[in-house]
Structure 1
Amino acid sequence: MRLAPPPPDVRLPWRPAHAGLLRALAFATAQVAGHERAVSLALSADAPGAIDLPEGAPNAMDAAQLRAAGPLYFAAELEAAGLLRCGELVAGLFASGAITQPLGPVAQSINTFWRGRRDRLQPGEREAIFNRVVEQPHFDRLMMALCRAIVAQADNADDRGVRPDLREQTGLAVAAQSLAEFLAQRIDAMASIAVRDVIDTINAAIGFLRDRMLQSAFGTHSLWALIATASSSDGMTPGSATTVQSHADRGRAGQAVLAWLASNYQSRNVTLDPRAPADADLIMSAQRWLDATPLQPTQATPALTPSLPIAA
């Protein structure tokens, strides 16, 4: 009696840790590049189709500046999560010799991050930019109206096609225009220049903070736990990996919505088709943003602040 051959091995595609965060970071980098190209074109005297528009009319610079809104919001949420603060703290501890465990190749990345600390925006400068662009509570109110208008389009299609609702179309157009005008007034030249520096800094910090050997040196097992531990140690936010991840998820979802806004804010007849993959992704991003609970950092009492553990 012959036995049947064993079934073939099941091969699962490799998925890196924090794949969603890395995709959002790559998308932010691409958005920044598009923003820089659009600004350059808008400033060029030879821009094709350049005409004089009446005061207050949407122009090429408005569209160019709005391209920076998504990456800036994404960065603002990661800043609120404590990611860059954690990166700077870890780099400082490494430079001082407080981290005694061998870290392998990631040590070079940490050293490079530390040496470049004077060449990038400082925490206070980043905070000033974020507070201006994502001014609360006005931004959240306008963003919530836009996300609700987007989600309302989810049931406007059936097997026979899209069934536009005039009231929902108008509401979406008004919400998009309101948020676009709000952001266009706040993304000034400084924010436009700073967005590249901020995204590059986040990219560098994530590059070493997600290293397993570094996380083990601090007694943690994930990027979110490491950031939460570092945030607790400097007295800024309660240590909660869930809180940190919620900020990151909200930033990812908001960035996707704002990227759509930058391309569609001038449209008066916006119809989303839930059956189309791109529109379905937009609707899901809007719903994820609505589902995320706004999280505000609180000042912890120094006497109750736990110390940052480092394995010897």
Structure 2
Amino acid sequence: MRLAPPPPDVRLPWRPAHAGLLHALAFATSQVAGHERALAHALVFDPGAIDLPDGAPNAMDAAQLRAAGPLYFAAELEAAGLLRCAELVAGLFASGAINQPLGPVAQSINAFWRGRRDRLEAGEREAIFNRVVEPPHFERLMAALCRAIVAQADNADATGVRPDLREHVGLAVSAQALAEFLAQRVDAMASIAVRDIIDTINQAIGFLRDRMLQVAFGTHSLWALVATASSSDGMTAGSATAAQRHAERGRAGQSVLAWLAANYQSTSLALDPRNAEDMELIMSAQRWLDSAPLASARLAPGAMPPLPIAA
């Protein structure tokens, strides 16, 4: 009697921890590079763009809007406490308070500490974020745009797209309003700072997601470590989830703002839910709407809570 051969091995694609966060960070980096190229092009080939009246669409507006998405993503990570956690960890490492061996990640932490004088401080980042995504005006305009995008979800069936004139006009008006708002607030300082901020976040995530570092602080995930650093009495219930929700909200908002930067001057903003890219945009807008505004307990620069270390 011959036995049947064993079934083939099931191969699951490898997915790194925090893949969504890393993808959003890579997307932010590419958006910053596109912003820098578009800004240089606008200054060289459209020097009169700066002198046009407020609200008039021009090449400079398009270049500035490319930076809005990464800045919003960074603002939500700042609210989550990511960079504050990185600065705390680096400070403790430099003071010799971390006794456990960390392996190769120690080099990254040391480099982050040594570069502390060359990057923006927390107060400077906060000022830029408050100017670009000024509350409550940004939230109101962003919510209007996301609702207009989500309204496009039911405008198609098996027979094709059925455009709704009222929803079409509403989407165009909402996009124009938010684009004009952001184009006036992504100023020269924000344009320069966005590269520094995204690079700093990239450095911070590079060592904060290391498992040996997390174990040294008695945690088992990136967001648990961030939450521990944000709490003066250690880990509090739900704080890791709140930090992660800030990151998810930033990811969704960045996707919507990237679409806005690429399409706000288009004469036709109708979305086709049957198109994969349009459907992903609609889902991002819905995710942003579903994530209620999170009150972030921001510490004043220099007010660093103690971070417990596992023995």
Q: In 2, distance between residues paired with 1:51 and 1:181?
A: 14
Q: Deviations over 1:73-94 (max 9, x none)?
A: 0000000000000000000000
Could you tell me which residue of structure 2 aligns to residue 4 of structure 1?
Answer: 4
User: Displacement of 1:52 after TM fit?
Assistant: 10
User: In the superposition, relative to structure 1, how do residues 299 and 277 fare at CA in structure 2: closer, same or farther (>3 Å)?
Assistant: closer
Question: C-alpha separation between the residues in 1 aligned to 2:125 and 2:205?
Answer: 17
Contact 1:229–1:239 (Cα < 8 Å) also in 2 = no
Inter-CA distance 223–51: structure 2 relative to 1 (3 Å threshold): closer
| CA contact 1:32–1:67 (8 Å) conserved in 2 | yes
> Do the aligned partners of 1:129 and 1:191 also contact (CA within 8 Å) in 2?
yes
CA contact (8 A) 1:180 1:262 kept: yes
Residue of structure 1 aligned with 2:53, choices 47, 52, 55: 55
Unaligned runs of 5+ in 1: none
In 2: Cα distance, 1:19 partner to 1:184 partner: 31
Report Cα offsets for 1:173-217 as digits up to 9, x if no partner.
000000001101110000000000000000000000000000000
Identical positions, percent: 81
- Confirm or deny that 1:129 pairs with 2:128: yes
- Residue 308 of structure 1: how far off its partner (Å): 2.4
Q: Give the count of matched residue pairs.
A: 305
Give the match for residue 100 of structure 1. 99
Hey, what does 2:208 align to over in structure 1?
A: 209
Pairing 1:187-266 to 2, within 5 Å after superposition: 187-233=186-232, 240-266=239-265
Conserved 8 A contact 2:49-2:60:
no
Task: Give the TM-score, by structure 1 length.
Answer: 0.93
How many Å separate the matches in 1 of 2:211 and 2:226?
A: 13
Question: How far apart are 1:138 and its partner, in Å?
Answer: 0.5
Q: 1:267 deviation in Å?
A: 2.5
Question: Which string of whole-angstrom CA distances, capped at 9 and with x for unpartnered residues, describes residues 118-161 of structure 1?
Answer: 00000000000000001001100000000000000000000111
Structure 1 pair 60–112 and aligned structure 2 pair: CA distance change class (3 A): same
Q: Which amino acid aligns with 2:87?
A: E
C-alpha change, 1:267 and 1:119, in structure 2 (3 Å) is same
Structure 2: which 5+ residue stretches go unaligned? none
Distance 1:38 1:248 in 2: 27
Q: Distance in 2 between matches of 1:267 and 1:299?
A: 38
Q: How does 1:292-303 map to 2 (within 5 A)?
A: 292-298=291-297
**Alpha carbons 2:105, 2:210 under 8 Å: kept:** yes
Q: Deviation of residue 299 (structure 1)?
A: 6.8
Q: Which AA in structure 1 matches 2:19?
A: A
Residue aligning to 2:71: 72
- For 1:154, the equivalent position in structure 2 comes to 153
Q: Is the contact between residue 230 and residue 305 of structure 2 (CA under 8 Å) also seen in structure 1?
A: no
